[in-house]
Structure 1
Amino acid sequence: MSDPILTALALLCLLAAALPAILTAVNLFALRRPAPEADPGLVSILIPARNEAGNIAGTVRAALASTAVPVEVIVGDDHSTDGTAEIVRGLGDPRLRVVPVPPLPEGWTGKNHACAHIAGLAEGRYLLFIDADVRLEPEAAASLVAQARRADAALVSGVPRQCTGTLGEMLTVPMIDFLLVGFLPVPLMRRRPDPALGAACGQLILFERAAYAAIGGHGAIRGFLHDGVRLPRLLRAAGYRTDLVAGAGLATCRMYRGFSEAWAGFSKNAHEGMATPRALPVWTMLLGCGQVLPPLLVLAGLFGLIPRLALAASVAACALSLVSRAAITLAVRAPLATIPLHPAAVLVALAIQWNVLLRGGRAGAATWKGRTYPVSGA
């Protein structure tokens, strides 16, 4: 490869690394943990659960420990076979209910069906949906409600602090925070109502009940798997505001255990995110040039294989990439080991997306929690 081409490639890498670096600096300033305020209104904490015996007791206890706002906790037992419902019943709190979810109708995905069912039983003005592996901090519900009121938002969400216990999890899970903080312009999202700017984390979403009902709730996305993308966009299209906050201080979650479970989990909704024929090539260029190629070019430069200008640009791009990852890591309290692993994590994320896209025509389905769904939005 000629020197001018190598130099142009290195400069392209620098530009691709600069974009998320700038957005990271802006977003980490904009995304704050909201201060809680006492509120007399009831908050319904809604937990869909399917075979969550290992998680559910801790999740429910943490939800019941909420302070500053009154809460009810409703667990939707989605045909569990491991004693999930019995564990919840054994906790014996008058604010707690466990209800069976009806059989899954055709055209619905499991989580959406369970969420829609328990939302219909809720009595609160605000509906706080959490996954069965999410542990709320005592002030989390009050903080989210306070932010909804301050921002006049129908939806407030944040990414819980992600707990990772294995190398495979550290190579996959941290990309959630990197993609959100590094590529969503949060101040612009707050100023403009464009549906495309809507985003949420499905692990932790607070809805104002009337707005949730007005758009049809989870029934409006019954055939989809990615509620964190679909629901905020529907709300914004209907004229409602949505907001994001720093969620690492509000809740914790260990969403997957091991690499194979993480690969399957991120694959299940990839078609509703990056893994589309239009989006994935763009994401591959942005992430590949900005996060993966710079350290490789720096290594080549150490052996004198690229010109000095290309090496300088590559060093700058590599520094921007790792500084951005480091800043996000510290903000979300992720393991420090994820910083040097960042280029490899980006490669794994792209491999998951390309695997789903290239297999989509043959497989055309996503499997999760023992259920298989046809791909929607592919």
Structure 2
Amino acid sequence: MEFAHIALALALLPIIFGIINLRRMPRLRSTPPAGTRVSILIPARNEAGNIAACLDAALASTGCEVEVVVMDDGSTDSTAAIVQSYAARDARVRLVQAPSLPPGWTGKVHACARLAEAATGTHLLFIDADVRLAPHAAAAMAAHSATHKIAMVSGVPRQIIRSIGEGLTVPFINFLLICYLPFGGRAVQRKASLAAACGQLILVERRAYEAIGGHAAIKGVLHDGIALARRFRENGHDTEIVDGTPLATCRMYDNFSHAWGGFIKNAREGMATPVGLPIWTVLLAGAHLWPWALLPDIEAVLTICLMFALRAAVTWRTGEPWWTVPLHPLTVLVALAIQWTALVRSALGLKAGWKGRAYAAAKAEG
């Protein structure tokens, strides 16, 4: 059937990219040069349930000198008190208070900019409060940056997924990055439009970061990882996505509702554009959803089997739960629903809310 041929052809793109990216995504093991100091920077807003475990992991870092700076960004819970208790017994920990959010800034980006000003390290490692660093992570990322002269190193932490709602949403991050991004964000390709990063885990070389204007250069964005990576590349610096699975863990969301809201926020500056989203819909639905409507055609069966095999390979490499693999078609369907919802909300001028703040609709771009 001609339609089945088309579906199989659309499946070849993620298969080719996936095989290449799975084989070539760097896994870090080296140690940094003498004199390296990594500032681990944590923006925190109402993170009382997360911040202690985050600090414990950061303070267990080995292989280089570290400091840990936490910015309390207007928390109304005990976040600040918890950090202060750590600072009282470990001189490597500092708590700073975020000033009022200036007009035109988004909350996390503003906190990261102020954290960078407070840092003293040769490298700045921005992490979210729900990230748990491996002991070697800070040193390995700084070593990769220094050895290969890469200004920005990022990776997707191993995602902790415990509910169906998370399983339907979170695995799409790694699948999209590995199977649909040419070169997988590696430094071999310097094109700014192909830059990528995960905002949960970003290390930058301080001098390069300051040279590009830091977070102040992207002050109005919500998806800071992608915007910062593009800013580096636009200014002639290399960026690279590495295998984040051995470097850190993270539980992004604890249910479907939180995941839906978080991904809609980020979609506004990702796939959800008037020109881009129809193309993404054809690519994703054509390879992962359409074949189900063409059963029992043998080529449709082959396409479905190939997509499950590809998803299984990504799941194995990233350490995500195996029970999420059978959910793959629904994961793609939910991802498209999130993107289209974000696009419609943006077109209607509806604000995106996160952590108690609301931001104006993103400007639609092609």
Across the aligned residues of Structure 1 and Structure 2, the Cα RMSD in angstroms comes to: 1.2
Residues 1:10 and 2:7 aligned together: no
Aligned counterparts of 1:45 and 1:190: Cα–Cα separation in 2: 23
Q: 1:188 to 1:140 in 2, by over 3 A?
A: closer
1:181 is matched with: 178
For structure 1, which runs of at least 5 residues remain unmatched after alignment? 1-6, 302-310
Alignment deviations for residues 335-377 of structure 1 (CA, whole Å, 9 cap, x no partner) = 1011110000000000011111122222432100000001234
Match in the other structure for 2:275: 278
Contact 2:41/2:115 (CA < 8 Å) preserved in 1?
A: yes
- Spell out, residue by residue over 1:250-301, the C-alpha distance to the aligned partner (whole angstroms, 9 max, x if none): 0000011100000000001211001110010011000001111223322xx2
Runs of 4+ in 1 over 3 A off after TM superposition: none
Moved more, 143-152 or 229-238: 143-152
Q: Does 1:22 align with 2:19?
A: no
The 8 Å contact of residues 36 and 140 in structure 1, kept in 2 or not, is answered as no
Matched, 1:78 2:73: yes
Deviation at 1:17, TM superposition (A): 1.1
Q: CA deviation at 1:38?
A: 4.4
Q: Which secondary structure state, in structure 2, belongs to the residue aligned with residue 340 of structure 1?
A: helix
Q: CA deviation at 1:189?
A: 4.5
Q: Which of these residues, 325, 333, 351, is aligned with residue 347 of structure 1?
A: 333
**Equivalents in 2 of 1:188, 1:367: separation in Å?**
29
1:35 paired with 2:61, answer no
Q: Are the counterparts in 2 of residues 154 and 240 from structure 1 also a CA contact under 8 Å? A: yes
The counterpart of 1:57, out of the listed 48, 52, 56, is 52
What residue is the counterpart of 2:42 in the other structure?
47
Indicate the SS of the match to 2:209: helix
Q: Secondary structure at the match of 1:344?
A: helix
In the TM superposition, residue 222 of structure 1 has moved relative to its aligned partner by 0.6
1:330 correspondence with 2:330? no
2:147 aligned residue (140, 143, 150): 150
SS in 1 for 2:261: helix
3-state SS, counterpart of residue 70 of structure 2: strand
User: Matches of 2:212 and 2:204 in 1, distance apart?
Assistant: 11
Where does residue 67 of structure 1 map in the other structure?
62
- Tell me, in whole angstroms, the C-alpha distance in 2 between the residues paired with 1:114 and 1:272: 19
Give the corresponding residue for 1:3: none
Asked if the contact 1:18–1:317 (Cα under 8 Å) also holds between the matched residues in 2, the reply is no
Secondary structure at 2:187's aligned position in 1? helix
My pick for the range that moved more, 10-19 or 275-284, is: 10-19
Equivalent residue runs for 1:1-378 within 5 Å: 7-39=1-33, 40-91=35-86, 92-186=89-183, 189-298=186-295, 301=296, 311-378=297-364
Q: Percent identity?
A: 52
Which 10-residue stretch deviates more, 178-187 or 244-253? 178-187
TM value normalised by structure 2 = 0.96
Tell me the distance in 1 between the aligned counterparts of 2:186 and 2:212: 20
Return the alpha-carbon distance in structure 2 between the equivalents of residues 25 and 331 of structure 1.
11
CA distance in 1, matches of 2:184, 2:248: 23
Distance 2:363 2:69 in 1: 31
Partner SS state of residue 21, structure 2:
helix
TM-score, L = length of structure 1: 0.93
Deviation at 1:151, TM superposition (A): 2.2
Q: Distance in 1 between matches of 2:349 and 2:235?
A: 34
Q: Output the amino acid matched with 1:327.
A: A
Could you tell which deviates more after superposition, 140-149 or 254-263?
140-149
Shift of 1:192: 3.0
How has the CA–CA distance of structure 1 residues 187 and 159 changed in structure 2, closer, same or farther, with 3 Å as cutoff? closer
Paired letter, 1:162: Q
Q: How many angstroms apart in 2 are the aligned matches of 1:188 and 1:329?
A: 19
1:286 is paired with a residue of what secondary structure? helix
CA distance 1:261–1:188, shift in 2 (3 Å): closer
Tell me which amino acid in the other structure corresponds to 2:171.
Answer: P
Check whether the contact 1:47–1:132 (CA below 8 A) recurs between aligned residues.
yes
Deviations 1:89-125 (A, max 9, x none): 1122100001100010111000000000010010001
Q: Separation in 2 of the partners of 1:368 and 1:34?
A: 33
Structure 2 unaligned segments of length 5 or more: list them: none
Of stretches 100-109 and 359-368 in structure 1, the one that deviates more from structure 2 is 359-368
